[in-house]
Amino acid sequence: MSAPAVFAHARACATLLTCAVLLAPVAPAEAGVNPVINEVVANHTGTDTNEYIEIFGAPNTDYSAYTIVEIEGDSGTTLGVVDGVFPVGTTNATGHWTTGFLNNELEN
């Protein structure tokens, strides 16, 4: 996704507090099986602990060529600013990969 496309996506997500974009490599890790953002947990009541992002794709597949980019989605002068970058790894036997638990790293 080009930089203008990322910023266009961020503007489209302006009603959300944060947008996550899964940036694809030039060639998919496995033809026909593109990973997707399957689950995001953030903004718990009280302190934001045990946040995570989960990717679903082909089982036991290395998706390290993919990156999740968290983009500022609020209106204002910071719209489109990159808030976080999370490299994706290898999925498990059921096709899942997570960032692991994060503490106060995903914007509310």
Q: How does pLDDT run across 19-55, given as a tens digit for each residue?
A: 566 555 545 445 557 899 999 988 777 778 889 999 9
CB distance 66 to 23 below 8 Å: yes
Give the residues across from 52 on adjacent strands. Answer: 41
| Domain boundary assignment for the chain | 3-98
Task: Name the pLDDT band for 66 (thresholds 50, 70, 90).
Answer: very high
The Cα 57–Cα 16 span in angstroms is 25
User: pTM to 2 decimals?
Assistant: 0.69
The per-residue pLDDT for 92 is 96
